[in-house]
């Protein structure tokens, strides 16, 4: 079965030189292709690639997925490095988005390809990225850095690692402003800038957010949870012993710690590729929906899928998996994808890109009419079989004009949001494709369902709420936000008599909500005098508890008056911050 021309499959019988030439050609095309339409998946069959004498060192550009095709990470070994370096345009790694590394063993060795003129890149895995560039299910032996310390500036802003092992190595976190590591293993962690969150990790640093060292200096801003309360790893493509493609769907876990694969086979179910409709760019929405209605799962091969109606996922336990960051773009003001209010759906590895005609949402999970029995127990049976979104990203503007009311709407109870970036673009291929009245979008993420858990939630630049949480018993572990850059005046960016909007709003009707490790930053470069009254707003009730939250003012533009609910020092053009609150509940803070 063909997976399309942009899925490139490597076999260990191929020479290192042949593989090197192929991956370098893709990298050369994609390295600066931030807003292009090309998408690639580079997949490695089980076996060993490269050697100490002839390592395989290559870079990963935009819209490129690199993954092994083994059932377990150690079924594929690459001797070399799979790198992301600074852009070279003065932005450092701040714009290194939309790429991924997964399901392989990386034995780090070699000179670092074409970028080792001074030897700095030798024998080191560089993954200098910001949002939407996850590392999942990877076994790295050797040294890893999440910043490019060889060339300046060393900016980096937001990484995500899950179900991975760094062995005894202590990765260099470096200039990463914020970072989230979940259910992984490491020898330690090097440092932190503003917000570093760990849950369910072996070898994670101790909790230290907002504390002082013995010498009186600030401790690293670490938020550490011993376990992850609920998680569901991303489905992945693999080859079975007979050389047939299958998709493995990991089971949900509760109160988990460590990787799913180091102590035995990852729990879950395996699906033959014959149970999937393998879509190609150009397939109509009607054709895709017809396959889904017949009971098929959906595999979207690399490319951009233009839709004139919602892709409609109705069946419980359906898997929707994108390869090579496949992208769904609504053309007719439609929602990009909807799911029924049923359990066990997985939607993974996709970008939703807003179209020129305004949509009400890009992805809607669960029915608009949300049922409860008054006690929140109507759907408790779903807790063992939650719906999950893994590595799902939303973009409004940037590649072209885009308009939407809300990026992601979650109506379904017991939904897991695992590595979500909802981004209203602050820059574009053409400057005319972004602006306050151009790429319009009210809200980044709106959560109406109960018992929704977010593990790695990024939402930026929306014109009203970046996150609005209406459901009961929600939980967030790690949140990163920048408020909109481009509001022209305070009158247009105000609500209910207050300046600005909070980045993260828990609705007044909510009685139970908990969050750990949340940051909101302001940079109003169009009008540096703008204020937001609070970075966070929550109801003052004992069941709503916020841990380790902060605000920052960037580049001498914009003010956040308080961290949360009128509490916490202001961050201003003359005081960047951070302003930290380690605990807030029911009007009490510290």
| Alpha carbon separation from 161 to 130, 173, 179, 186, 244 (Å, rounded) | 12, 12, 8, 11, 29
Active-site choice (329, 482, 498, 537): 482
Structure tokens at 495: 């609500």
Give the span between the Cα atoms of 458 and 478, in whole angstroms: 8
Those residues whose C-beta lies under 8 Å from the C-beta of residue 23, and which sit 6 or more positions away, are 42, 56, 58
Those residues whose C-beta lies under 8 Å from the C-beta of residue 587, and which sit 6 or more positions away, are 540, 565
| Alpha carbon separation from 277 to 287, 455, 507 (Å, rounded) | 10, 29, 40
Is residue 406 within 8 Å of 420, Cβ to Cβ?
no
- Please report, to the nearest 10 degrees, the dihedral formed by the alpha carbons of residues 103, 108, 113, 117 taken in order: 150
H or E stretch covering 11: none
- Determine the distance from the C-alpha atom of residue 103 to the mean position of all C-alpha atoms in its chain, rounded to a whole number: 17
Strand partners, 271: 247
Q: How many residues does the chain have?
A: 590
Torsion angles phi and psi, residue 288, rounded to 5: -65, -45
Whose structure tokens read 């690199």? 66
Told to judge if 125 belongs to the known catalytic residues of this protein, a careful annotator would answer: no
SS3 549: strand
- 372-411 exposure pattern, b = at least 16 Cβ within 10 A, e = fewer: eeeebeebeebeebbbbbbbbbbbbbbbbbbbbbbbbbbb
Whose structure tokens read 């400057």? 431
Give the span between the Cα atoms of 181 and 166, in whole angstroms: 11
Is residue 463 within 8 Å of 487, Cβ to Cβ?
yes
Give the span between the Cα atoms of 155 and 171, in whole angstroms: 17
Give the span between the Cα atoms of 335 and 563, in whole angstroms: 34
Active centre residues (catalytic): 482
């Amino acid at each position: 079965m063909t997976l399309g021309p942009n899925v490139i499959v490597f076999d260990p019988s191929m020479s290192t030189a042949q593989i090197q030439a192929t991956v370098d050609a893709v990298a050369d095309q994609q390295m600066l292709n931030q807003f292009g339409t090309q998408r690639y998946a580079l997949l490695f069959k089980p076996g060993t690639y490269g050697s100490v004498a002839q390592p395989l060192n290559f870079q990963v550009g935009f819209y490129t997925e690199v993954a092994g095709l083994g059932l377990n990470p150690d079924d594929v070994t690459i001797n070399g490095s799979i790198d992301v370096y600074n852009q070279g345009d003065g932005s450092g790694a701040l714009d290194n988005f939309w790429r991924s590394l997964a399901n392989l063993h990386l034995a780090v060795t070699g000179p670092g390809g074409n970028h080792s003129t001074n030897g700095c890149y030798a024998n080191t895995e560089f993954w200098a990225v910001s949002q939407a560039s996850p590392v999942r299910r990877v076994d790295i032996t050797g040294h890893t850095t999440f910043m490019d310390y060889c060339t300046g500036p060393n900016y980096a802003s937001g990484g995500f690692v899950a179900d991975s092992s760094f062995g005894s190595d202590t990765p260099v976190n470096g200039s990463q402003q914020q970072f989230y590591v979940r259910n992984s293993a490491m020898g330690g962690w090097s440092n932190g800038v503003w917000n570093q969150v760990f849950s369910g990790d072996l070898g994670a640093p101790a909790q230290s957010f907002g504390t002082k060292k013995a010498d009186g200096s600030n401790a690293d801003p670490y938020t550490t949870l011993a376990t992850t309360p609920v998680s569901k790893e991303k489905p992945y493509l693999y080859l079975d012993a007979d050389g047939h493609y299958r998709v493995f769907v990991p089971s949900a876990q509760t109160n988990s710690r460590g990787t799913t694969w180091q102590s035995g086979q990852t729990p879950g179910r395996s699906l033959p590729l014959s149970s999937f409709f393998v879509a190609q760019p150009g397939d109509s929405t009607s054709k895709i929906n017809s396959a889904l209605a017949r009971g098929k799962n959906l595999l979207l091969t690399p490319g951009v899928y233009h839709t004139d109606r919602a892709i409609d996922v109705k069946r419980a336990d359906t898997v929707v998996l994108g390869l090579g960051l496949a992208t769904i773009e609504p053309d007719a003001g439609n929602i990009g994808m909807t799911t029924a209010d049923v359990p066990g759906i997985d939607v993974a590895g996709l970008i939703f890109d807003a179209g020129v005609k305004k949509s009400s949402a890009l992805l809607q999970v669960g029915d608009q009419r949300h049922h409860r029995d008054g006690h929140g127990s109507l759907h408790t049976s779903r807790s063992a079989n939650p719906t999950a979104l893994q590595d799902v990203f939303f973009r409004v503007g940037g590649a072209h004009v885009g308009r939407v009311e809300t990026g992601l709407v979650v109506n379904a109870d017991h939904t897991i949001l695992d590595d979500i970036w909802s981004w209203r673009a602050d820059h574009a291929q053409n400057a005319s494709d972004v602006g306050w009245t151009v790429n319009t979008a009210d809200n980044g993420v709106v959560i109406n369902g109960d018992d929704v858990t977010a593990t790695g939630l990024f939402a930026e630049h929306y014109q009203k709420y970046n996150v609005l949480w209406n459901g009961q018993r929600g939980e967030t572990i790690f949140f990163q936000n920048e408020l909109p850059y481009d509001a022209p005046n305070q009158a247009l960016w105000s609500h209910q008599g207050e300046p600005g909007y909070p980045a993260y709003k828990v609705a007044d009707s909510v009685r139970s909500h908990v969050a750990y490790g949340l940051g909101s930053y302001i940079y109003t470069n169009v009008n540096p005098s703008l204020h937001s009254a609070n970075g966070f707003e929550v109801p003052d009730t004992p069941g709503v508890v916020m841990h380790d939250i902060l605000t920052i003012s960037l580049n001498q533009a914009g003010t956040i008056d308080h961290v949360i609910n009128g509490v916490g020092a202001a961050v201003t053009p003359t005081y960047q911050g951070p302003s930290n609150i380690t605990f807030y509940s029911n009007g009490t803070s510290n």
